[in-house]
Amino acid sequence: MIHVTATESDAIRVIEAEAIPDRYARGWHCLGLAEKFKDGKPHTVNAFGQKLVVFCGEDGKINVLDAYCRHLGGDLSKGTVKGNEIACPFHDWRWGGDGRCKKIPYSRRVPLRARTAAWPTMEQDKLLFIWNDPEGNPPPPEVTIPRIKGVGQEDWTDWLWTETIVHTNCREIIDNVVDMAHFFYVHYSFPVYFKNIFEGHIATQIMKGKSRPDIAKPDADGNKMLGNTSVASYYGPSFMIDELTYHYEGFDLESVLINSHYPIDQNSFVLHSGIIVQRHPKLKGDAAEKVAQRLSRFILKGFEQDIEIWRHKARIDNPLLCEEDGPVYQLRRWYQQFYVDVADVTPEMTDRFEYEIDTTRPVEAWTREAEENLARQKAAAQGQPA
């Protein structure tokens, strides 16, 4: 019999993963373009492990309630908007946006305690947000979503918005905030600078990238893209605003990209992307729209690339990191603030934290890899084996 004694360095690393918490994040969550909910009909939204009804009253205010009627459980999202209230399809009880039953047409009186769950809503920059808080408190004024420059401006395109359902827990998408290396391997971009800043309810990723010679092609107008600068911040647990500047030969083009999600349940979420692009004088005709469309396709492809990874990967609480990885553990501590009671938020979750990755080694390795790819592509184009 052979006995093997594992020393510290040759012990097998075990993947740890606790059960996913049965709690949903506190914070503002975007449900998409507000316009979609203003058609006078109730909408079903599955979020936070529940079914919700979203409806817009005659007064133009969008309301969100638990979809199940407190009378006998009818589904309000299959009901009818009457005035400023949602009428249940079962016995016509009328529920207001504040969650209170306003009227029962066949009854003299509304019973006491006729109140259901209502989510605070906010309409801003043509988007609908709802505030989720397991403790039931209203949103503190300092925890908000900043206004997005460019929205509704003449010299910017309108929102190009997409929605996709993803079948995994939403922590996976948050990890992307600190994951520089996957941008090269999964998304075919080429980061050359990468920094994170976490503070309060905001987590920022600053990334500069250059075009990959083995991937990039000039755009339809022949403008050569040199690289990009991205400053992307999560405001709370689920809504990221990315100010993305593309550097072309001779000019810069600004765009804003939204990457947001809301949980359906613990194993799925709805992932949104939104894009607006500046109509730069250097761009002719509808070129800004075209850039937006191309960017949107690029983002959707990026989502598909991430989704393919998530579909097969394991949840891991103790990732094994190298020096050139970003601060995954610190990011997850930041993210944890949204899953505990306000009273239990600790300074280590919200204190300012900054970390810049030394990109010397990755840039060397990726330059070599891109050159090798390019040589192989050229050889293949000439019909020769590389």
Residue 100 C-beta: closest distance to ligand FES, Å: 14
- Could you give the strand order of the β-sheet that contains 353-356, starting from the edge strand earlier in sequence? 160-166, 268-277, 251-265, 239-248, 225-235, 202-210, 191-199, 353-356
Instruction: Decide: helix, strand or coil at residue 243.
Output: strand
Q: Judged by CB under 6 A, does residue 88 bind ligand FES?
A: yes
Which among Fe ion, ligand FES, none contacts residue 270 (Cβ within 5 to 8 A by kind)?
Answer: none
Residue 173 C-beta: closest distance to Fe ion, Å: 8
Instruction: Compare residues 104 and 309 and give the one whose CB is closer to ligand FES.
Output: 104
Q: Judged by CB under 6 A, does residue 72 bind ligand FES?
A: yes
Q: Judged by CB under 6 A, does residue 71 bind ligand FES?
A: yes
Instruction: Compare residues 71 and 315 and give the one whose CB is closer to ligand FES.
Output: 71
Question: How buried is residue 45: exposed, middle or buried, by Cβ count under 10 Å (0-12/13-18/19+)?
Answer: buried
Q: Judged by CB under 6 A, does residue 81 bind ligand FES?
A: no
Residues lying near Fe ion in the complex (CB under 5 A) are found at 176, 306
Name residue, tokens 């979809």: 67
Instruction: Compare residues 98 and 358 and give the one whose CB is closer to ligand FES.
Output: 98
Q: Could you count the other beta carbons within 10 Å of the beta carbon of residue 11?
A: 9
Selected from 24, 37, 55, 93, the binder of ligand FES by CB under 6 A is: 93
Write out the H or E segment, with its range, that includes residue 335: helix 328-336
Instruction: Decide: helix, strand or coil at residue 348.
Output: helix
Binding region for ligand FES (CB under 6 A) out of 26-34, 37-45, 65-73, 374-382: 65-73
Distance CA 195, CA 354 (A): 7
* Dihedral sign (CA 129, 132, 137, 139): negative
Q: Judged by CB under 6 A, does residue 90 bind ligand FES?
A: yes
Q: Judged by CB under 6 A, does residue 74 bind ligand FES?
A: yes
Instruction: Compare residues 89 and 227 and give the one whose CB is closer to ligand FES.
Output: 89
Instruction: Compare residues 125 and 306 and give the one whose CB is closer to Fe ion.
Output: 306
- Radius of gyration of the chain measured on its C-alpha atoms: 24
Q: Judged by CB under 6 A, does residue 51 bind ligand FES?
A: no
Which among Fe ion, ligand FES, none contacts residue 306 (Cβ within 5 to 8 A by kind)?
Answer: Fe ion
Residue 91 C-beta: closest distance to ligand FES, Å: 3
Residue ranges with strand state E in the chain = 27-33, 43-47, 50-56, 62-66, 80-82, 85-87, 94-95, 101-103, 118-119, 121-124, 127-132, 160-166, 191-199, 202-210, 225-235, 239-248, 251-265, 268-277, 353-356
The terminus-to-terminus CA distance of the chain in angstroms comes to: 49
Selected from 34, 52, 56, 69, the binder of ligand FES by CB under 6 A is: 69
Instruction: Compare residues 92 and 324 and give the one whose CB is closer to ligand FES.
Output: 92
Q: Judged by CB under 6 A, does residue 97 bind ligand FES?
A: no
Q: Judged by CB under 6 A, does residue 91 bind ligand FES?
A: yes
Q: Could you count the other beta carbons within 10 Å of the beta carbon of residue 227?
A: 17
Distance CA 274, CA 35 (A): 14
Task: Give the interface size with ligand FES as a residue count (CB under 6 A).
Answer: 9
Instruction: Compare residues 132 and 176 and give the one whose CB is closer to Fe ion.
Output: 176
Binding region for ligand FES (CB under 6 A) out of 89-97, 154-162, 205-213, 301-309: 89-97
Residues 238, 310, 327: CA angle, nearest 5 degrees: 60
Instruction: Compare residues 95 and 239 and give the one whose CB is closer to Fe ion.
Output: 239
Which among Fe ion, ligand FES, none contacts residue 176 (Cβ within 5 to 8 A by kind)?
Answer: Fe ion
Q: Which residues bind ligand FES (CB under 6 A)?
A: 69, 71-74, 88, 90-91, 93
